[in-house]
Amino acid sequence: MSAETGQPGQRIDRWLWQARFLKSRSLASGFVETGKLRLNGERIGKASRLVRPGDVLTFPLGPHIRVVKVLALPVRRGPAPEARALYEDLDPPIPAPRREEGAPSSREPGTGRPTKKDRRSIDALTKDD
């Protein structure tokens, strides 16, 4: 428990690991120490900093900036559905567009590699006489 607020808290590196944002606790600790994580708008650099329910975390993860609100403190590192219940995603990442099923590629017809006929015509135009 924290003396300043009276609320229970948990180390930020442990919470990130148990909420399944990072694969290991040592990765979580190293990530926090890079200084890329913000807790309630304040940049933090120590993995021992306590996080409490109601805190807002902002951090880059992959190609997205994640903004999450801490809802609960976990007891263990459980399965993914249990981990998703620990936070509320305030700015969810935009999902990548999906390709249609059965479409072999996303290219427009006529683009990409030339056919054998196209290659012969290109060779005929560029051939030195």
Once rounded to an integer, what is the mean pLDDT over residues 54-61?
95
Task: Name residue 95's amino acid.
Answer: P
pLDDT at residue number 122: 84
pLDDT (mean) for 61-87: 93
Count CB-CB contacts under 10 A for residue 54: 11
Element (H, E) at 47: none
CATH architecture of 1-93: Roll (3.10)
CA-to-CA dists, residue 45 to 8, 31, 37, angstroms: 21, 9, 7
Domain boundaries, the chain: 1-93
> Given the structure tokens 């600790």, which residue do they identify?
29
Query: Which residues have CB under 8 Å from 129's CB, separation 6+?
Result: none
Using 50, 70 and 90 to split pLDDT, how confident is the model at 98? low
Q: What percent of the chain has pLDDT over 70?
A: 82
Query: Which pLDDT band, with edges at 50, 70 and 90, does 95 fall under?
Result: confident
pLDDT over threshold 60, residue 71: yes
Q: What is the pTM of this model?
A: 0.69
* Nearest in space to 20 (alpha carbons), one of 52, 66, 63, 53: 66
Mean pLDDT across 116-124: 86
> How far, rounded to the nearest angstrom, does the alpha carbon of residue 107 sit from its chain's CA centroid?
28
pLDDT at residue 103 is higher than 60: no
Residue 44: per-residue pLDDT: 95
Cα 90–chain centre separation: 14
